[in-house]
Structure 1
Amino acid sequence: MLFIKNGYVLTMEGKVYEKASILIRDGKIQEIGEELVAPLDAVVIDAAGKIITPGLIDAHCHLGLWEDAIGFEGADGNEMTDPVTPHMRAIDAINPMDRTFEEARQGGITSVATGPGSGNVIGGQFAAIKTWGKRIDDMILQEPLAMKCAFGENPKRVYHDRKQSPSTRMGTAAILRDALYKAKEYSEKLEAAKEDPSKKPGFDMKMEALLPVIRKEIPLKAHAHRADDIFTAIRIAKELGVNITLEHCTEGHLIVEDLKKEGLYAIVGPSLSERSKYELKNLTFETAGILSKAGVKIAIMTDHPVIPLQYLPMCAALAVKAGMDETEALKAITIHAAEILGIDSRVGSIKEGKDADLVIWEGHPFELQSKAAYTIINGEVVHQQ
């Protein structure tokens, strides 16, 4: 049992406590209040003069799939031997022992969405995980979380060099459509087989992996930087009747009214990086704030290892510097990130019954010199300054 007292609590549930206590029992937040008394058997942390927030959430990264300070031996995020690999599962490649997990906890990041990269048209299955643990099976929040697909330069660059499709944006769209239509047909055959077993199709692992997408159980996590690629992603999602989240959305600020009408979520970033390719020519920290002010629900990402995960709060702070509302920026790495990922019943805010994932900060998390004095995951102190 853990009892945190005297903290300035930003719940991200619309309530701020000037000086409150939090009682944690069995890994869950049991009670929050200004007049709580510590049980005699509780471990007590005095958070006087400190700020308490929910654990931070990175809604798009590749934590554990590209290991730190190593090359090919630790690069397990892109199975670039086939443009369609929906049956790849992030949890089979994540190394929780990698040093970057510890750095994430030091930075106050307690949950992430991590998964394959954008080398393929369909890259595989993302997972939502906690950043504390030695065995990935014990760290999972939700798996599969989403199906990664990619538009724009990356898949065409990979396969153009091999003189195979896709070498154009048309090719990428066609391959994605083909896979989704086949999955839809596979799903229809499975349904028909319930009445007539003779109609059951032969087992196809790729199609099995795409069934949750076709059935709207998980979204496509669509890598799209440029405005035209964003519109192509939306077009295909509508055509096939599947759910989608817009990942990167680098030119989202140029088409903000269209995105508002579509009612989709955007996970913006990584903005703290160079314009390393043509589709990033309009990269700006203003994107997140412009979309947010227009009413588009957004999260902010690092795309780790593009930006090291521990700099997630800095990315949000730079969005504030570029015009984003401070509270909305904090939501973009807590409750809004959780809602977009569909894991908000457990994480993203300080609320009774939720997982006890908290950070006790020496200053505001957006202050450059602020440090996480304590990071708590599932009610356990996993980092102490």
Structure 2
Amino acid sequence: MEILKNGKIIPMVGEPYEGDIAIENGKIHAMGVNLDYPNAEEINVSGCFVLPGFVDAHCHIGMWEDGIGFEGADGNDSYKPVTPELRAIDGINPFDNCFTEARAGGVTSVVTGPGSANVIGGQFVAMKTFGRSIEDMTIKFPAAMKAAFGENPKRVFSAQKTFYTRMSIASQLRGTLLDTLEYDRSIKDAKQKGEKPPKIDHSLEAMLPVVRGELPLKIHAHRADDIMTALRIAKEFNLKITLDHFTEGYMIIDRIKPCIDELNAGIIIGPLLHERSKPEVRNRSLTSARTLFDNGVKFAIMTDHPVVPVQYLPVCAALAVREGLPEDAALEAITINAARIAGIDSRVGSLEVGKDADIAVFYGHPFDFRSRCAMTLINGRIVHDEL
């Protein structure tokens, strides 16, 4: 057993306090003041801020490896527009240097997967940032099915002379959903009649959890009209969705808030710390987080690594605070809200007895740019240590 002693504990569930956290077998065993267990190893974190490890709800870490060019680029495979059968766990390199940098920044969990070249790009995974194999690191797989609207698939497939418009993107997504529903019906009909099931379709098999409402469609959408199209299709097919990037969402939030609530759609904003590199992000604003908060929208903040390096997740949240987002809401956006949207909050996202001992210890408040991460623990193991 280990005990973190005398820290400034921000659990994200319940009130902050100064005291201790006891860890045993990779889990949080106890929380309180003056904890004392025979033979426990005590780690003095006096004066430090102790928080749940940060959760990046949308990134591509391990899919675009750092510093090795083409050999490490495994995020997009645009041989055809619809590729739901592609799986992030088959493309991630756990030895990507960026996992080390994530841990050094207090980021202990990420949701990572394919990029946005395709209309449907493949399956995301929720995982820890420490381990030697994807099997050791996975929290939840599949965690989501990636889909994309707007400029990215338009650019990729117009170059291939496959399609050119947003209408075609929506049509291909609808067509795939309809094909999957028909495939699902044929499976159920064959089972009910005691007949031979249809020939397995590799792509449609991957989409079955989506149309059955078991797996969220993780929708890349920057522009307001793309966000509206995503919501329209989600309602048509009764889908679970997250709206990722949501760059112009703040511009129409009063119009779409009822629909977001009806669908219980997860909102993941960002990246906030990058240039306006393409037309559809021209209305990016650091005040968008405050606007969403003022309208009662729960959201997470992403890095979209490698667009913003994953270790700067708390920096992105701090920039939103500078523009008016309350500090506690910003912390929620990179901890418990991110975990809830990813469907992994039973294990991570807050400091609670019984949850994984994924803990970030900072010398100062993590939103102070001068503050360094002193220690990071994942599953109770110290994976970064500057104390």
Structure 1 length normalisation: TM-score? 0.98
Q: What corresponds to 2:169 in structure 1?
A: 172
Q: What corresponds to 2:14 in structure 1?
A: 14
Q: What corresponds to 1:80 in structure 2?
A: 78
Q: What corresponds to 1:349 in structure 2?
A: 350
1:36-115 map, 5 Å: 36-37=35-36, 39-115=37-113
Q: What corresponds to 2:366 in structure 1?
A: 365
Aligned residue identity for 2:152: N
Q: Distance in 2 between matches of 1:365 and 1:131?
A: 19
8 A contact 1:259–1:296 mirrored in 2: no
Q: What corresponds to 1:153 in structure 2?
A: 151
- In the alignment, which of 172, 184, 189 is matched to residue 186 of structure 2? 189
Q: What corresponds to 2:251 in structure 1?
A: 254
Q: Distance in 2 between matches of 1:306 and 1:261?
A: 31
Q: Deviations over 1:59-107 (max 9, x none)?
A: 0000000010122111000011110000000010000101000000000
Q: Distance in 2 between matches of 1:231 and 1:57?
A: 27
Q: Distance in 1 between matches of 2:245 and 2:194?
A: 44
Q: Distance in 1 between matches of 2:26 and 2:290?
A: 34
SS at 1:146 equivalent: strand
Q: What corresponds to 1:288 in structure 2?
A: 289
Q: What corresponds to 2:304 in structure 1?
A: 303
Q: Distance in 2 between matches of 1:176 and 1:310?
A: 34
After TM superposition, the structure 1 stretch with the greater mean CA deviation from structure 2, 260-269 or 103-112, is 260-269
Shift of 1:198: 2.7
Shift of 1:346: 0.3
1:122-133 map, 5 Å: 122-133=120-131
Q: Distance in 1 between matches of 2:216 and 2:225?
A: 20
Shift of 1:199: 5.8
Q: State the percentage of identical aligned residues.
A: 55
Q: Distance in 2 between matches of 1:135 and 1:338?
A: 22
Shift of 1:313: 0.2
SS at 1:198 equivalent: coil
8 A contact 1:151–1:229 mirrored in 2: yes
Q: Deviations over 1:187-222 (max 9, x none)?
A: 111111221243621100101100110111111000
Shift of 1:40: 3.0
Q: Deviations over 1:245-276 (max 9, x none)?
A: 10000001101112321213210000101111
Q: What corresponds to 1:30 in structure 2?
A: 29
Aligned residue identity for 2:180: A
Q: Distance in 1 between matches of 2:42 and 2:65?
A: 36
Shift of 1:348: 0.3
Q: Distance in 1 between matches of 2:241 and 2:334?
A: 19
What runs of 5+ residues in structure 2 fail to find an aligned partner?
none
8 A contact 1:265–1:296 mirrored in 2: no
Q: Distance in 1 between matches of 2:294 and 2:266?
A: 13
SS at 1:40 equivalent: coil
Q: Deviations over 1:136-164 (max 9, x none)?
A: 11100000000000000000100001111
8 A contact 1:192–1:199 mirrored in 2: no
Aligned residue identity for 1:67: E
Shift of 1:14: 2.7
Aligned residue identity for 2:302: M
8 A contact 1:189–1:199 mirrored in 2: no
What runs of 5+ residues in structure 1 fail to find an aligned partner?
none
Q: What corresponds to 1:220 in structure 2?
A: 217
- In the alignment, which of 195, 198, 205 is matched to residue 198 of structure 1? 195
Q: What corresponds to 1:144 in structure 2?
A: 142
Q: Deviations over 1:260-308 (max 9, x none)?
A: 2121321000010111111011001111121122111100000000000
Shift of 1:241: 1.2
Structure 2 length normalisation: TM-score? 0.97
Q: Distance in 2 between matches of 1:145 and 1:32?
A: 30
> Paired residues, what number?
382
Aligned residue identity for 1:238: K
Q: What corresponds to 2:234 in structure 1?
A: 237
